Structure 1
Amino acid sequence: MHRVAITGIGIVSCLGQDAVAVGEALRQGRSGIVVDEERVRLGFRSPLTGAIRGFDPAAVLSKKQRKTMPDFAIQAYAAARDALAMSRLEDEEIQNENTGMIFGCDSSCIAAIEQVDIMREKGESKQIGSGLVFRSMTSCITMNLNTLFHTRGACWTISSACSSGGHAVGQAADLIAMGRQERVICGGAQEINWESMCSFDALNAFSIRTDAPQAASRPFDADRDGLVPSGGAAALVLERYDLAKARGAAILGEVCGYGFSSDGNNLSVPSVDGLQRAMSKAIEGAGRKPADIDYLCAHATSTPAGDAAEADNIVAVFGSRTPWISSLKSMTGHELWMSGASQVVYSTIMAQQGFIAPNVNFTTPDESSARLRIVTEAIPRAPEHVLCNSAGFGGTNSCLVLRFSE
């Protein structure tokens, strides 16, 4: 089995669009959550959302290239472009059958709405045009990025709700570890528009703390009242470790364990053991013990049931002495399909910049979170062994162990 190196990262999120800006926001505990006035006007129960500022699709790709890509696919391209630039791979090292492309994404809502609106307004299908058929497919990210970067290896999208991005990174690492690919561009993306969120809003799952948007996402806090939706794109370049070393690449970290499980129980309520089975498999697969993990990047989305279930699962694995824990969704909101991948990017940024980010808005523990070591202020040291948790509707769980020291 080959070791798997991280040699490039890219991010487009409500915290920023490069590692420096995002690192500064994470260290300072600065939130990217706002009230969306359009959602207020439309009658959303919760108009809260993460907001991506200053991203101009026209500055990233031509009009012709953007024809088949919704905004989140363009953001995925921008994140992947930046990750590849950081990796310093040459074109010939990317454009071959040994380089793959795997992203996590579980919907492409806006394009489906656009084509139906055109059909109803114009009364004939020929007005829809050719681009929307590609924009409306869940696999629109990988099909477009594969074409733009000219990779010729693995190319598919993983759809597993909010664990999609985590599974994409894990499967990419597995393909490299097994020798089936030498490198994989991987990650996750989530559309941030209101159209994709109105059905979630109807579930009463969102926070309604609109008087203080930046305090609305409160993972593990006793006073949490729901999640805040967000989105964007996160990308990584994973490579066979020996090949990356041989070409003189800067090794940012290593994906050394991947565990997965499913609850087999309930569509929306996490089980008492699903996530702990995935965590244990990831740690065992990395050749580590629970005590070796010094930071856990939690999935916790700020929902009452979900956070409590994760806390109980964490204690089942680590006992009374847990690692330092924070949910970065306290700042980003819940990035849904991209969140498992963005946690890997955020953790890599922390390791590179020498700190562990806080779980902001955590003031009062509840019965479950009182047993966790929650990071309330940035810790001025780099994490060495990180466990990233992600979980999704239907009880699908993904856990990754990252190593940032030899």
Structure 2
Amino acid sequence: MRRVAITGAGTINALGHDVPSTLEAMREGRCGIGPLDIRDIDRLSVQIGGQVRGYDESARFTRSQLALHDRFTQFALIAAEEAVDQSGLSFESELALRSGVILGNSGGGLSTIDDSYRAVYAEGKNRVHPFVVPRLMGNAAASAVSMAHGLRGPTFTAASACASSNHAMGLAFQMVRSGLADVMLAGGSEAMLCFGGLKAWEGLRVMSPDACRPFSATRNGMVQGEGAAVFVFEDWDRAQARGAEILAEVAGFGMSADAGDLVAPSVDGAERAMRGALADAGLDPDEVGYVNAHGTGTAANDRTECAAVAAAFGNHAGRLMVSSTKSMHGHAIGGTGAIELLACISALRDGVVPPTIGWEAPDPDCPLDVVPNAAREAKVAACLSNAFAFGGLNAVLALRAA
């Protein structure tokens, strides 16, 4: 089994259009959630979100590219370009054949779907754009990234709702570790902030109208976000041999299924995924200093996750730092785990643990150190990143400092 290094990172999300600006915002505890600027916002009862602001698609892509790329694909391409640039890799000849892409995504080209349904049903049109299918398909982003960088190895999309990114990154990690690939681009992308996407989530009655406050007794629901993050996972020895900067080591991966309720989370399922990641990484619980929580800001998730952390870490749980950056950038659904992996890199590489902002009052059912409201400087040698999805699907990554 080979060790796996992260040698590049890229992102665009509500906190920033690249990694440096995102990490700066996380350190400052800045909130990227605010009033949404989308069509028909007046017909929504929830009018806030973690929207990517100041983004001009025409400045990034040509007209012919925009005809093919939904917003979620655009985000993935932007993040992947930054990650590849940082890695210093050039995918030519043999390396191209041994490199691929696995991205997480839940909704596909939802803006394209929304616009097309509107055109056909509301406006009575009988024809839609000829590229609707390639724009909306869930694998559009992964395929576009492979084409942009000439990656000819394993390439596909993992779709498991809010665990999509972690499943994608976990599978990419396993491919590099096993020798099936030398380099994999992995992460996720989502762009659900359109009328249809938000209206569907409203129906679940789990959305907050004002803020995301994970683990706070005053929380009242989740807030949706959007964006992407992509990482370069590379064989450790290969990265060292070429003198690459290693941001962190991907050390283990655990996943489980609750096999219970479609929407209610399970303490047992989350605990087993965390224990699986620890075992896969060869980590003792007391070696972990930080857990990036799924932390959606719903009572069901927060209390279940805290109970699962307590069960998985035992007496060490009280010494763990456990924060949710969804409080800052919102819940980016299929892309959220990838964006949150940046918080782990911040902790491992920079010694800065991002906070859970918006925290107002303790919840006796969440008796953990949730790093409330302000980032914390701390030496972290290992961490976990949690993702728990509707459908009872859990995926947890374990990372070590390089």
SS at match of 1:10: strand
1:337 matched residue in structure 2: 334
Q: TM-score, normalised by structure 2?
A: 0.94
**What is the match of residue 22 of structure 1?**
22
Distance in structure 1 (CA, Å) of the matches to 2:84 and 2:170: 19
Determine the structure 2 residue equivalent to 1:301: 296
**Partner Cα separation in structure 2 for residue 93 and residue 279 of structure 1:** 38
Partner of 1:204: 205
Q: What SS does the aligned partner of 1:369 have?
A: coil
Structure 2 unaligned regions, length at least 5: none
1:97-154 superposed Cα distances (whole Å, 9 cap, x missing partner): 10011000011222123233344546433xx232211011111111222222211001
In structure 2, the residue matched to 1:368 is 365
Aligned to 1:213: none
The whole-number CA distance in structure 2 between the counterparts of 1:241 and 1:338 is: 25
Q: Could you say which residue in structure 2 is the equivalent of 1:315?
A: 310
Q: Which residue of 1 aligns with 2:115?
A: 114
Aligned residue for 1:180, secondary structure, equals: coil
User: Which of 378, 381, 385 lines up with 2:378 in the alignment?
Assistant: 381
Displacement of 1:46 in angstroms is 1.4
Distance 1:135 1:68 in 2: 6
1:200 alignment partner AA = W
Cα distance in structure 2, aligned partners of 1:359 and 1:124: 48
State how 1:127-138 maps to structure 2 within 5 Å: 128-138=128-138
Q: Give, in whole Å, the separation in 2 of the partners of 1:41 and 1:68.
A: 26
Deviation at 1:259, TM superposition (A): 0.2
Offset from partner CA, 1:159-206 (integer Å, 9 cap, x none):
000000011110000001110000001111110422322110122111
Q: Does structure 1 residue 290 correspond to structure 2 residue 285?
A: yes
Q: Measure, in 1, the Cα distance between the counterparts of 2:394 and 2:358.
A: 25
Letter in 2 for 1:391: F
> Which whole-Å CA distance do the structure 2 matches of 1:39 and 1:116 have between them?
14
Is 1:257 aligned to residue 252 of structure 2?
yes
Q: Within 2, Cα distance between the matches of 1:158 and 1:380?
A: 34
Paired residues of 2:91 and 2:151 also in contact (CA < 8 A):
no
Distance 1:365 1:400, change over 3 A: same
Deviation at 1:72, TM superposition (A): 1.6
Cα pair distance change 1:36/1:123, threshold 3 Å: closer
Label 1:37 to 1:248 Cα distance change in 2 as closer, same or farther (>3 A).
closer
- Whole-angstrom CA distance in 2 between matches of 1:255 and 1:156: 20
**What letter matches 1:204 in structure 2?**
R
2:389 — aligned with what? Answer: 392
Q: Distance in 2 between matches of 1:386 and 1:107?
A: 29
Superposition map of 1:170-185 within 5 A: 170-185=170-185
The yes-or-no answer on 1:277 pairing with 2:278 is no
Unaligned runs of at least 5 residues, structure 1: 210-215
Distance 1:47 1:18 in 2: 25
Distance 2:47 2:253 in 1: 36
**Aligned counterparts of 2:315 and 2:91: Cα–Cα separation in 1:** 50
Q: Mean alpha-carbon deviation: is it higher for 155-164 or for 327-336?
A: 327-336
Per the alignment, residue 146 of structure 1 pairs with 146
Displacement of 1:343 after TM fit?
1.4
- Sequence identity percentage: 33
1:281 alignment partner, SS class: helix
One-letter code of the match for 2:134?
F
Residue deviations 1:11-57 (CA, integer Å, cap 9, x gap): 10111012221121111111000022657843322111012122222
Distance in 2, matches of 1:88 and 1:94, equals 16
User: Is the CA contact 1:45–1:204 (under 8 Å) kept in the aligned structure 2?
Assistant: no
Amino acid at match of 1:255: V
Point out the more displaced range, 285-294 or 361-370: 361-370
Tell me, what secondary structure is at the counterpart of 1:96? Answer: helix
Name the CA distance, whole Å, in 2 between partners of 1:94 and 1:32. Answer: 42
Residues in 1 aligned to 2:357 and 2:363: alpha-carbon distance in whole angstroms: 16
Q: Comparing 261-270 with 36-45, which one deviates more in the overlay? A: 36-45
Q: State the match for 2:160 in structure 1.
A: 160
- Counterparts of 1:86-97 in structure 2, within 5 Å, are 86-92=86-92, 96-97=96-97
Offset of 1:346 from its aligned partner?
A: 2.7
**Selected match of 1:352 from 349, 354, 361:** 349
Is 2:343–2:353's contact at 8 Å kept on the other side of the alignment?
no
